[in-house]
A and B are shown apart, each in its own frame.
Chain A
Amino acid sequence: MTKDILTIKGLNAGYGAVPVLFDLDLTVREGEIVSMVGSNGAGKTTLLRAISRIIPATGTMTFDGEDLLPLKPEGAFSRGLVQVPEGRQLFGHMTVEENMMMGANRRRDGGVAESFERVYALFPKMKERRRQLAGNMSGGEQQMCAMARALMANPKLLVIDEMSLGLAPVIVDDLLAILTDIRAQGLTVLLVEQDVFAAFSVADRAYVMETGRIVREGPISELANDPAVRDAYLGAEH
């Protein structure tokens, strides 16, 4: 289980003349949950945009043994790099089930029915609500629906942007538990979070980002005890 699924080396990216990411290295191995934490404006979302091939980038990016840089967004998507976007971005006037169908819209294999069963097993609540309009559900349910939709694409790497945004802590705990279940099924997750407590409670490894650079990285046990990280993100106890 040590195969690298996403390898990024020396990544530089930005918007037009404005550079945002500088010489960034990142590795995600198969079957682990890696979290990327950092404050507002650290460049987390820019990194995700570069990974999903929405903005141009230089450096090397390899996904599942294939060069990611020349791919278009839909190309990266069909190869199994699937995002749960920040703010959910559900199709509000469609039912939960239709939203999930949209996740499977680029699949050519016949496993969609099976995926439905698998995803409903992870999110029993979505099965109850499958006929309900996605826009009428609570924030937590919408986040579940967005994750369910992404899982329907049968991803190799699930990239989740700000999962905890605007949700009650109790709901965030539920979602984190589901992430653990997802990993137990062999899926790899890259979790981009501002809520460092939440991210560290579920991840195997983490990267800390500040102003477009990786400033710390390592297993959670190490980072959680790192004085600098504790001071900046977890609240010092002295």
Chain B
Amino acid sequence: MNRPLLIVSLLVAAGLATLPWLGSDTMIQFGINALLLATLAQSWNILGGFTGYVSFGNSVFYGLGTYGTAIAMTNYNLPFGVGLAIGAVVAMIAALLVGLPILRLRGPYFAIATLGLNGAMMAIFSNLPIAGSNIGLVLPLTRNDAMFYELALGLLVACSLTVLWISRARFGMGLIAVREDEDAAGSMGVNATRYKVAALVMASFFTAIAGGIHAYWSTFVDPASAFDSTLNVRMVISVVFGGPGTVLGPVIGSFILSTVYEVLASQISTAAALLFGVVIVLAVIFMPKGLADILRSRRNLTWRYFIRNIRENRL
């Protein structure tokens, strides 16, 4: 990402920050959801985009952040900030404990191992009295959408700046080396497991904070919404749509998908999910490297680009 693009991005972020004073309530609520999803996608990008490891366990960190905040605020009457911190720390410890064994697995085996985590966590939290078991927890009500909006925006900016740093740092080079060829990375002195675990822990931090913000905003958490595996799928889709391993791709991708989904849902309600699926299938066929690849060079924007992608996909 070059300097002009960075300046434009920061200006856009500053522009978005004014939305609570300009937009309607519906706009603000849509904005909070879109910003949180973009943060989740951007966090998923840290491991999934840079190392190519597809994680279905990020919704676990989201759930831990959600419950960390909810339990701290309802059971112990702690302030919101402390709740967020507790959720983030718990999620990071979980990422470390989970990452150390299963990030030694490669490729699809890692994805399979993470698939089970979400279900296990949901079962555990359904039986934890402190977490309200199956019923869930109700958080103190705060009607301040503008605050949640700014928090979500701030988190997305922080997460994106982290990804920007990764894309330029030696750490990011190591992650990309792992994606390109893990054995070769090893022979270049990259401790692949350590790099991957560090990436997962960073991702878990932002994911958990996003979960905590959402919990306080929606004022209610239960196991099914906290450990929602479809949320994880949406993170993956947003990143793949936008461009894995890029700084702006996941953000733009998730904004566009959020908007498409919202428009479809308001126009045709029930069939929205179906059409959403069609949009994703078309995107994967015609631009498998994501939006970022198209935006990077405008020369690519010819029919040849799309034909080449179809041919490479052997469709």
- The chain A residues found within 8 Å of chain B, CB to CB, are 52, 72-74, 77-78, 82-83, 85, 89-94, 101-103, 105-106, 149, 153
Contacts and interface: CB of A to CB of B under 8 A. Distances in A.
Interface stretch (B5-13, B58-66, B175-183, B211-219): B175-183
B101 interface: no
A22 B181 CA distance: 32
Contacts of B189: 73-74, 77-78, 82, 105-106, 153
Interface in B153-182: 170, 173-174, 176-177, 180-181
A73 B177 contact: no
B49 to A, nearest CB: 14
Contacts of B271: none
Contact of A90 (B176, B184, B190): B184
Contacts of A153: 188-189
B185 to A, nearest CB: 8
Q: Which 7 A-B pairs have the closest CB atoms?
A: A77-B189, A89-B184, A91-B180, A74-B189, A85-B187, A106-B189, A74-B191
A205 B295 CA distance: 56
A72, A90, A102 interface centre (most CB from chain B within 10 Å)? A102
Interface residues of B, number: 16
Contacts of B187: 52, 83, 85, 89
B188 A103 contact: yes
Interface in B185-199: 185-191
Contact of A93 (B173, B180, B190): B180
Given A91-B177, A91-B181, A102 B186 contact: no
A101 B172 CA distance: 12
Interface of A, secondary structure class, is loop
A73 B173 contact: no
14 contacts: A74-B190, A78-B189, A85-B183, A89-B183, A90-B181, A90-B184, A92-B181, A93-B180, A94-B180, A102-B173, A103-B188, A105-B174, A105-B189, A105-B190
A94 B178 CA distance: 12
B245 to A, nearest CB: 11
A90 B173 CA distance: 14
A113 to B, nearest CB: 16
Contacts of B184: 85, 89-91
Contacts of A82: 189
Given A91-B177, A94-B180, A73 B170 contact: no
B191 A73 contact: yes
Contacts of B188: 77, 102-103, 105-106, 149, 153
B173 A105 contact: yes
Contacts of A90: 181, 184
Contacts of A105: 170, 173-174, 177, 188-190
A217 B176 CA distance: 42
A92 B185 CA distance: 12
A87 to B, nearest CB: 9
Contacts of B173: 101-102, 105
A105 B186 CA distance: 12
Given A90-B181, A92-B180, 8 more contacts: A52-B187, A74-B190, A74-B191, A85-B187, A90-B184, A91-B180, A93-B180, A105-B189
